[in-house]
Structure formats: structure tokens, C-alpha cells
Structure 1
Amino acid sequence: MKRNRIGRTDVEVTDISFGTSGIGNLGREVTDAEAMEVLHHAWQGGIRYFDSAPHYGRGLAEQRLGTFLKPLAREQFVVSTKVGRVLTPGKDLVEADGFVHPLPNAVHYDYSGDGIEAALEGSLERLQTRHIDIVFVHDIGCYTHDGDNEGHRTALLDSGLDRLQKLKDKGTIRAYGLGVNETGICLDLLRETEMDVILLAGRLTLLDRSAEDQLVSECRERSVSLILGGIFNSGILATGPVDGAWFDYAPASSDILQKVRALKAQTDAAGVPLASAALHFARSHPAAASILLGTARRSSLQRNLEALATPLPPECQTLVQASQATLRRAGEP
């Protein structure tokens, strides 16, 4: 599997990576055995970069990932997690934030230096490691926080980013950046500070290419890597425009359904499943250092790996290419 360097750091990630929200019981309860099975299958498939977050099952995904990675030599894999949410002991819950039977932890937002370090200490314990390769500032921005975002942004700029740099200087982390669902906050903070990488969910996909407008070129100019999450846009690029299909964490609008029908007509004409085209678009994008595959099902992971291993026919290549302007900005012919 191809490896790509993150920013100007010495961190290298496989161009396909594994996202762990599913093994945090997102949407359904997953057994420990199921979680270990899909993680093992990812490893057998050549994936050596795993992404997690305290948000995923209030620490459950990190805990399961840590159990899986513990017997492995630390230099063999790259792991990332996120800061911005701090977990503290709480009560048992049936469901929280879409995660079923999460760990009994309470959660609060804190993007200050102290909050970031507290979040990281918890993650280090659950992941059973002495250092984290990549740390993402999770869900900063108006998409998540709306009117409360200015206070969180101020905390991050006042002390949070400085603390991340100090942790990087100490070797506790090796790279840091943002993990978000919107391009606006990325452009804002790129102009305020230096960072190594952005994990961008849902904004550089076969359906939603809004990151191509400005963010791709800004990242290239500043040597900031992009990791792509949400490549199925909450499911609609996997399921197609069916009744009840979801886009951007909500039922798809009629406008989105119409756009996906048009995309599916093109992929059907080329004899390629819509989901395969979505996977190839993300992986082949010149700005992408890695694409996240997030599932708790071994069968789903295998299906996606097989799709990525199957070359697209020539008639589908144009559909999955980035815009020509983006290709030029990324230095491609």
C-alpha cells in the first residue's frame, strides 16, 4: 500500500486508513470480537494508519483500538486521535450522540491548552501508547458550535495551538492539525497559524467538491496534508439515491437526491458501482494523503478494499477526476 508523508513531518501514512467510529458503536452495538475482527482484517489488508477520537463511544473506540494495537511493534503503525472534547467519569448511558452503550463517561468541550492536554492524557491511556502520531483539533467551527464557536476559537488561539506545538516539541505527538466537516474554519485557521494536516470529512468527495474552491490550493502552498473522511457523504454515495438515504448526517434533500441520481446514471453507464467511483475519486485525488474507511463490518471493509483494487474502465476516469483547476494547483500535468 502506498505511503504518503504528512506535511513536513517524518510521519508517513498508508493511503488507505481505518476510521474507528463504527467500533465505538456508532448506530449499533458491536461486540469486542467483531471490533477485533474488523481491525485484524484492516491490518491483513495492509492498512497501517488508524484514526480514532474520544467522541467515538466516549472512549470505547480508542479503548478497543488500543487493545488491538498493544501487541504490535509501535513503529509498525500510525495512530491519530482528536482533542477538543474532554472525558470524565460519568454514568451508564444507553445512547449518546448516536453511539449505543458508550463507556460511562461525561464529556465537555475544551479547546484551551489545559483542555487539550487533559484530553490527550486520556487518549494515551486508552490507546495504551506513550505517543500519538497525529492529533486533530476536533469539530472546531460553526458547523458544530454555531454561536458558541467564537469562544472555542479564542481558547484554541490563546493557548490550545501553543500547547500542541509544545507537545510536538516534546515528542508526545508528532503532527497536528484540524479534524472538521467544513472548509471555512480550515481557511480561517490556516491564515492564523501553522499546522501539518487537516482531516476533512465530506467536503472533497465525488458529490461535494467544495474544498477544491480554495482549500486544496491553500494546503498545497503551506505544505499541509489532507486526509479525507466521509467519502460517502454520510452514506448516500454508498447506498445511492434510495428512500431514506442520508447526506451530511441527515436525510438527503430532494436536490441532493437529484444530483446523486445523475451521478449514478453516469457510473451505471460505465458499468461501475457508484460506491466504487466514490472510493476511487477520493483515493486518486492529488490532494489526498489518505482516505478513511470507517466500518465495524469485516464484509464492508473487504468490499471497499476490493473496489479500490479494481481499476476503473476508461469511460469512468473523467467522472472521478478532480477539476482541472485543482490538478493544476496540485502540480499535476
Structure 2
Amino acid sequence: MQTRTIGRTDLAVTEYSFGTAPLGGLYRACPRDVAMATLDTAWQEGLRYYDTAPWYGFGRAERTVGDFLRDKPKASYVLSTKVGRVMRPVPDDRVPDYGFVDPLPFDVHYDYSYDGIMRCVELSHARLGLNRIDILYVHDIGVYTHGAERNAVYLRQLLDSGLKALSELKASGAIRAYGLGVNEVPVCLDVMRAADLDCILLAGRYTLLDRSAVAELLPLCERKGTSLVVGGVFNSGILATGPVEGAHFDYMPATPEIAGKVGAMMEIAQEKDVPLAAPALQFPLRHPSVASVLLGTAKPESLRRNMDLARMALPEDIYPAFEPYTLVAPALGSDAVRQ
């Protein structure tokens, strides 16, 4: 599989990579044998970049991917995890429900400060059982997750001292790159105006349907040499399933407007004799700032199917035909974020 370089570093990642949120039991249980079989399938398919986070199953995904990678040659893969959520043990009857099935017995404390980030890294190494992390992403900072009032506090933590921690970790060789792992564009613009980032893991905002990153973020990434790793290419499923009953967009039931746009896209794909999921998977890699497309699943057969779609030959004229049906959300500046 071809590779692309992260930012201005010498770190290369495979164009398709594996995301481990489903291995943490996101929305449905993922038995360990199935998780390991899915990771093995990813390896067999040539994926050599693996992304995880303390948030996924409250440590379960980190433990699983660490166990899988432990015996692999160290130079053969790239590993990223995330900071900003410090996991704290709680009694079994106080484990919160954040959508993970059978998580480990922890709750989350948000901390984007210097000390919080350093603590996150220490705990991630222990859960992974590995002495190496290649990329650190600041996880889910932004109004999308925290609301405007709380995010103003967390953003100040990051800008005042958290970025210093990341810079020191990179300078010391403890990590090779750092950036943000988020679901929104505005906070990316805010942080990039204050600091240079190697990469951003952006979920759902540079897809066949949702082009929120196009107006401001992608040009800024090009100017600053920041790479994008794109997650959520199916926008919570609708670009894979089509506008069927119960289809979701952005973690919510799809509105009639969204369903209509995706329905029109599906008709175009059918006219070209390709499944809509194929151009959805391949679309982000058309931009030079995109280093990798992240695929997350807890089923080996789903991953194999997605990789078949990723390798499918597509007619070049298919992408312009989708343009009238895309969503372009306005990107907000820092003043809007801090209100």
C-alpha cells in the first residue's frame, strides 16, 4: 500500500489506516477474539497505521491494539493515540454510559494542560504496554464536544501550556508528530492560528457529502504544511447505506434534506455502475494535504469489503457530478468559538 508523509516530518503512514473506536465497544460489544481477528485482517490488507484513544472503551481499545502490535517489528507500523481525557477508576456501579458497551471501570476527567497531557501519555503507555507512540492528537477539544463556556476553559489550557507539553515531547523524541483529533473545523482554525501542527485527525468534515473543511481549513493546511487524516468518511453511515430508513448523518437520524442529497448522489453512482461507498472512501485522498483515510470497524468482513471499495477503479468524471449535492458549512473564527 502506498504511503504519504505526515506534515513536514519524516513519518510516513499508509493511505488507508485503522481506527479502533469499534474495538472499544462503541454502540455494540466487541469480544476480544473478534477484535484481534479484525486487527489481523487490517494487517493482512496492508494497513500499517493504527489509531486509538483512552476514550474508546475507557482504555479497552488501547489495551487491545497494544497487545496486537507488541510482537510486530517496531519499524513496521505507526501508532497514534490521544490526550485530553484522563481516565480515573470508579466503582462498577458508577461507570458512565457514553455509548460504549462493556467499558473498563473508569470515568473521564478532561485536562488539556501541560500536566494533564503528560499524565495522559504516561497512562497510555501503561495501557498499551508499549514504549512507543508516534502521533499524539488532542482529543475532542472544541464547542462540538464541550459547549462554548467549557471549551473556552479547555482551549485556554491547551494554548497556555498544553501545546508546550506536545512540543517538548516531540523535541525529546518521545513522539514524532502531534495535532488535533476532532469533529469540527472551527477549533482547528483557532489552534492553527496560534501554533503549527503536524496533523489533524478530522472526522466527518471532509467527505463526499460534507465539505466543511474546504473553504478555510484545507488552504490553511497547505500553507502551514499540516496533514489531514480523515475519519468518518461515511458520515455516520449514510454514504455507505444510502438514504434508507434509519440512516444516520453526523451521529443523528438523517434529515429529509440530507437524505435527498444522498439519494441524488446514489443515483449518480448507479449511473456510473459503482456503489456510492467507493467514491466516498476514495474522495479525501484526492487532496494533497490528506495523508490517510481512517477506517473503523469491528468486523473482519466489513474491513475486507471496505478495502475492496478502496481499490475499485472509478471514472474520473464521477466527482464533479456530486458537487451540486455537497454540504458546505461556514467555518467560524475564534471570536465565535469564545463567545
Shorter-chain TM-score category?
over 0.9
2:270 maps to 1:242:
no
Tell me if structure 2 keeps the 8 A contact 1:232–1:238: yes
Q: Indicate the residue corresponding to 1:196 in structure 2.
A: 198
2:81 maps to 1:81:
yes
Tell me if structure 1 keeps the 8 A contact 2:204–2:210: yes
Q: CA deviation at 1:201?
A: 0.5
Q: CA deviation at 1:315?
A: 4.6
Once residues 302 and 322 of structure 2 are traced to their aligned partners in structure 1, the CA distance between those partners, rounded to angstroms, is: 21
2:222 maps to 1:220:
yes
Residues 160 and 314 of structure 1, relative CA distance in 2, 3 Å threshold: closer
Q: Indicate the residue corresponding to 2:123 in structure 1.
A: 122
Q: Indicate the residue corresponding to 1:10 in structure 2.
A: 10
Q: Indicate the residue corresponding to 1:231 in structure 2.
A: 233
Once residues 45 and 190 of structure 2 are traced to their aligned partners in structure 1, the CA distance between those partners, rounded to angstroms, is: 37
Once residues 12 and 139 of structure 1 are traced to their aligned partners in structure 2, the CA distance between those partners, rounded to angstroms, is: 24
Q: CA deviation at 1:64?
A: 0.3
Once residues 182 and 274 of structure 1 are traced to their aligned partners in structure 2, the CA distance between those partners, rounded to angstroms, is: 24
Once residues 227 and 241 of structure 2 are traced to their aligned partners in structure 1, the CA distance between those partners, rounded to angstroms, is: 29
Consecutive aligned runs of 4 or more in structure 1 exceeding 4 Å deviation: none
**Per-residue CA shift, 1:226-251, capped at 9, x if unaligned?**
10001000111111101111111111
Alignment of 1:175-324 (within 5 A): 175-319=177-321
Q: Indicate the residue corresponding to 1:139 in structure 2.
A: 140
**Per-residue CA shift, 1:265-296, capped at 9, x if unaligned?**
11111111111120121233333100000000
Q: CA deviation at 1:319?
A: 4.0
TM value normalised by structure 2: 0.92
Residue aligned with 2:57, SS: coil
Once residues 314 and 9 of structure 1 are traced to their aligned partners in structure 2, the CA distance between those partners, rounded to angstroms, is: 31
Once residues 78 and 320 of structure 1 are traced to their aligned partners in structure 2, the CA distance between those partners, rounded to angstroms, is: 33
Tell me if structure 2 keeps the 8 A contact 1:113–1:163: yes
**Per-residue CA shift, 1:65-101, capped at 9, x if unaligned?**
0000001111110000110100121233677211100
Instruction: Answer with 306-315 or 247-256: which moved more.
Output: 306-315
TM value normalised by structure 1: 0.94
Tell me if structure 2 keeps the 8 A contact 1:16–1:291: yes
Q: CA deviation at 1:129?
A: 1.6
Unaligned runs of 5+ residues in structure 2 are 324-339
Paired residue type of 2:190: D
Paired residue type of 1:38: T
Tell me if structure 1 keeps the 8 A contact 2:226–2:289: no
Once residues 6 and 123 of structure 2 are traced to their aligned partners in structure 1, the CA distance between those partners, rounded to angstroms, is: 24
Q: CA deviation at 1:111?
A: 0.4
Q: Indicate the residue corresponding to 2:68 in structure 1.
A: 68
Once residues 155 and 283 of structure 2 are traced to their aligned partners in structure 1, the CA distance between those partners, rounded to angstroms, is: 32
Residues 156 and 274 of structure 1, relative CA distance in 2, 3 Å threshold: same
Tell me if structure 2 keeps the 8 A contact 1:82–1:136: yes
Unaligned runs of 5+ residues in structure 1 are 322-333
- Give aligned pairs, total: 322
Tell me if structure 2 keeps the 8 A contact 1:131–1:171: no
Q: Indicate the residue corresponding to 1:159 in structure 2.
A: 161
